[in-house]
Chains A and B, each alone.
Chain A
Amino acid sequence: MANNGHNGHHVPEALGLTPAEITADQVSRVVSSGPKYRTALILSGALFALGIVGFVIRALEGFDDRSIWGYYAATMVWLLTTAGAAPLSAFAFRMTKANWRKPMVRAAEIWGAVTIYIFLLLIPMYFMIPSSQTGADSFRPTIWFHASWGAPHLWSAMGMLGFILAAACFFWITTVPDHAVLRDSDASRSWNRRLAIRWRGTSTQWQILQVGIILFGTFFFMGLFTAHFLVPSDFALALVPGWKDAIFPAYHMLTALQGGLATLIVTMYVMRRWGGLSDYIKMEPFWALTKPLIATCFLWFYFWWCAFIVYWFGRSDGEIGVLRYIQFETYRPFFLAGFLLCFLIPGILLIANPVRKSIIGPTIVSLIILVGLFFDRIRIYVASFGVPNDEVGHHAFDLSHALPAMILPDAIDIMMIVGAISGAVFVYLLVTRLVPPISMWEMKEDVLLRVIRPLLRGTYTLIGKPR
């Protein structure tokens, strides 16, 4: 694809498949699975089982001591930040009518189905956080303020449930035409008939589909913001004395955008490299996704700096305590790792066009970001879960005493981390048996709307953009 024109400009290739060939190829992928797929499924399933064992062992110790669950919380939130946010790319780039999105949208949307699994991981965490009547003077800060009934557990869980439902609905609505194709093929299964909801492809149905995508996509978008408002405020800010940080949910949301993009790029690479989809997923979406990715890297620094400078100038006991605990003393190694891997290294690498304009470059950068985000979640959630109950609700750490010590992972934590991540991969692989990993209807649309034509002395892609 990346052949060069007469003056070095990028000359794109057409897909080279007809709509009928796309259908035949994608349907066959749903019906049969290769050895690589089965190996990945068995391996991820085994590791997932290992994680369940680790969870059961840890659960036997009880939920009262929150500090032993810090790594579980960090992993769960990491999954929410990465896999849970990946479908946003599918929605956002649909809204901007970006044509390059078409090979990658389904890879993003399947992560929407994985959010149900993430919600199951979240449920035990509600047993670990104190109620709004706990802490100093029977008060702990919460965005539910003085609501005594069900706060924060019930209200927060309801908010998260809304997000999960929106994600699942968004995933489903985008797959309806493809379910109809599967229904009408030899590969038809009962769920294809049900999920296709009598789709015939009439003009009215196409219009309803567009409205549905916008509607559920908007709900998903709003749900994602809600999730990244509830989780950081209930599971982090509320637990650390003096951590009154209005930008933090926005920072959390930003890291979700960053993590979602990085997850999608890595997913596309895996699909291309080992999933046999290199005919569909070419360099264009990798290159295009690096533009928002580099923006999120620099915004990571900006959001961190905005919080830091206000705390640094404020210098109240609460502010100094928070800075010392989660950034510059207790959890400094994790903070530095996050700083380097979420901002500095990817930011510098992505400035170079040769890195962006490749397939392996964005993938490596995305892996770096995903690792960085994991360290960042440890810094935030292990630190927050490490604060004892009698400190919760204070306006500042007692700086005359030592801050809570850093908690390092033990073998059980490692089992749960590996198991939780493998579980997400396991669920993702299972979902690819339900729907094709490439959105057939959008790829066919792409075939119709993309033409390579000469213009003046060059050759360019001409992209149709229906009104």
Chain B
Amino acid sequence: MKAPVVASDQLINEELLNTVLVTNKRFWMLAVLLSTGVFAAVVVVVLLIINGLSITGFNRPVMWGFYITNFVFWIGISHAGVMISAILRLSQAEWRRPVTRAAEVLTVFSLLTAMMNPLIHTGRPWRTIYWLFPYDFARGIWPDIRSPFVWDPSAVFTYLTGSTAFVFIALVPDFAVIRDRTTGWRHVVYGALALGWRGTPRQWKLQIVAGVLLSAIILPVFVSVHSIVSWDFAVALVPAWHTTIFAPYFVIGAVHSGVSAVITMMAAMRWLFKWDNYITPDHFDSLGRLLIVVASAWFYFTLLELFFSIFYVESHEIAVWDLRFFQWPYNLMVIVFVFTGYIFPVGLWLSKRVRRNIVAMFWISIFVNIAMWLERFLIIVPGLQYKQAATFSWGSYMPSAAEGIFVLGTFCFVGLLLLIFSKFFPLIPLFDIKEGKVLTTEIQVGRVGVPAVYREE
């Protein structure tokens, strides 16, 4: 049970809209820094289009590397929004309120970023139009709908559409607040976005129903997206990929990395925007406890994947695991991945003191996501590098500097988009905070005042 925000509605408006209505020096410094990273990534993409995939480290038979790893990683991060927002909303977790908006927005931006990766990975992005249209109009040869490469864009675009609607619906009351505090063209734009919101009982009812409905509808989409991404791998007969566990394993891994990314972002928001009254150690504590469960479930799936890959002691499966566990540099990556993905974070999260320490939580969440990035790399590359019977030419994959710059650029891109978003829209939902303030109070039990919350049911 979290302490209620003790502030008047007016103060809440002022404090949470300060990012929208005022632009300070730190904003510009961060914007320049992130833009530089994005610019470097753009240069890499231009070079790739000019020179082709020769600027990457792809080497037969490993033709999937950093780009696809990064694609899976960002799809994973996108699971933060729904996990935090939809599930916690449906379960009426009070502590969700300051966290939901940022998590939902992170979903949208990470999905956009994720989709760039396979496009760029093709080397000739414009040719991806053949995913949607016949690649030979004359003979009418259509893409094979049984291919997971056709399922992927469908799932991701559905999720993107749903997530955008989810963000928009939750923003409508806040648009109205900004509309009433701006003038000129901004007043007109926010007025249009607010859809005539006046805060009537009927409008609130519609808004709540829409939020709950979208939460319920988006949950299956959320599960399906990463499941479908996992089937890119699992339906193939590549050793260590062809396993039934991949879909839920990918989903729970995505939630692990996504919620950790929300912690990173919350800490950054607290420092950047001075929202100490709204994002409190209580929220980090709650997210830490949630992550203990999520990380343990994820580790359970990791062990299931390992056990049942080698269940029949088949040579080709053993060979891939041998590559992962005992061959340089994958063995080092496995150690880093296991320790920073599970053992250290969960060990530390068991301590309440750590969970309430924002600096510690920030760095732990960063390490979790390093581990989760490595996890995707360790799934993709060793699986392809295994010397199969029909492979006559093989080499090792060594990522090029260009790939590394692009990957870093995607992080800058998401950061920049979030920063720009914060300039135009509040990253903490005003109405949700105010509602939380109304619904939380205290009851007297003996001589002790106990925090209490109103429940409709």
Contacts and interface: CB of A to CB of B under 8 A. Distances in A.
Interface stretch (B48-56, B101-109, B134-142, B299-307): B299-307
Contact of A245 (B90, B308, B445): B308
A244 B235 contact: no
A248 interface: yes
Contacts of A466: 1, 450-451
Interface string A430-459: 000000000000000000110101010010
A463 B237 contact: no
A466 B247 CA distance: 38
Given A246-B245, A460-B454, A465-B1, A314 B235 contact: yes
A46 interface: no
Given A143-B307, A310-B244, A455 B454 contact: yes
A303 B311 CA distance: 20
A467 interface: yes
Given A244-B312, A449-B443, A449-B445, A10 B244 contact: no
Contacts of B220: 298
A458 B457 CA distance: 12
Nearest to B300: A225
Contacts of A145: 310, 313
B333 interface: no
Interface in B58-116: 90-91
Given A141-B311, A465-B1, A10 B304 contact: no
A329 interface: no
Interface string B228-239: 000100110100
Nearest to B293: A95
Given A306-B244, A466-B450, A246 B308 contact: yes
A247 B311 contact: no
Contacts of B308: 244-246, 248
B336 interface: no
Contact of B245 (A247, A313, A451, A465): A247
B190 interface: no
B441 to A, nearest CB: 7
Contacts of B452: 449, 451, 462-465
Q: Which DSSP category, helix, strand, loop or mixed, fits chain B's interface? A: mixed
B227 interface: yes
B423 interface: no
A149 interface: no
B309 interface: yes
Interface string A359-387: 00000000000000000000000000000
Contacts of A146: 313
B455 interface: yes
B378 to A, nearest CB: 16
B450 A460 contact: no
Chain A CB within 10 Å — which of B244, B308, B313, B452 has the most? B244
Contacts, number: 128
B244 A302 contact: no
B41 to A, nearest CB: 34
Interface in B1-24: 1
Interface in A299-323: 302-303, 306-307, 309-311, 313-314, 316
B227 A460 contact: no
Contacts of B454: 453, 455, 460-463
A284 B438 CA distance: 24
A310 B450 contact: no
A225 B441 CA distance: 39
A449 to B, nearest CB: 7
B451 A310 contact: no
A10 B450 contact: no
A250 interface: yes
A72 interface: no
A302 to B, nearest CB: 7
Chain B CB within 10 Å — which of A96, A298, A306 has the most? A306
B1 A467 contact: yes
B307 A246 contact: yes
A213 interface: no
Given A246-B307, A310-B242, A313-B235, A464 B445 contact: yes
B301 A250 contact: yes
A18 B271 CA distance: 49
Contact of B246 (A310, A316, A448): A310
Nearest to A302: B223
Contacts of B1: 97, 465-467
A212 interface: no
B312 A141 contact: yes
B331 interface: no
Contact of A461 (B234, B244, B455): B455
Given A145-B313, A246-B309, A250-B304, A465 B451 contact: yes
Closest 5 CB pairs of A and B: A465-B1, A246-B308, A246-B245, A313-B235, A464-B450
Interface of A: 9-10, 12, 96-97, 99, 139, 141, 143, 145-146, 225, 229, 233, 237, 244-250, 284, 287, 291, 298, 302-303, 306-307, 309-311, 313-314, 316, 395, 448-449, 451, 453, 455, 458, 460-467
Interface of B: 1, 90-91, 220, 223, 227, 231, 234-235, 237, 242-248, 300-301, 304-305, 307-314, 438-439, 441, 443, 445, 450-457
5 contacts: A141-B313, A248-B308, A302-B223, A395-B314, A464-B451
Given A249-B304, A395-B314, 19 more contacts: A99-B455, A143-B307, A143-B311, A145-B313, A233-B311, A237-B311, A246-B245, A246-B307, A247-B244, A284-B457, A291-B91, A302-B223, A302-B227, A306-B248, A310-B231, A463-B452, A464-B445, A465-B451, A466-B450
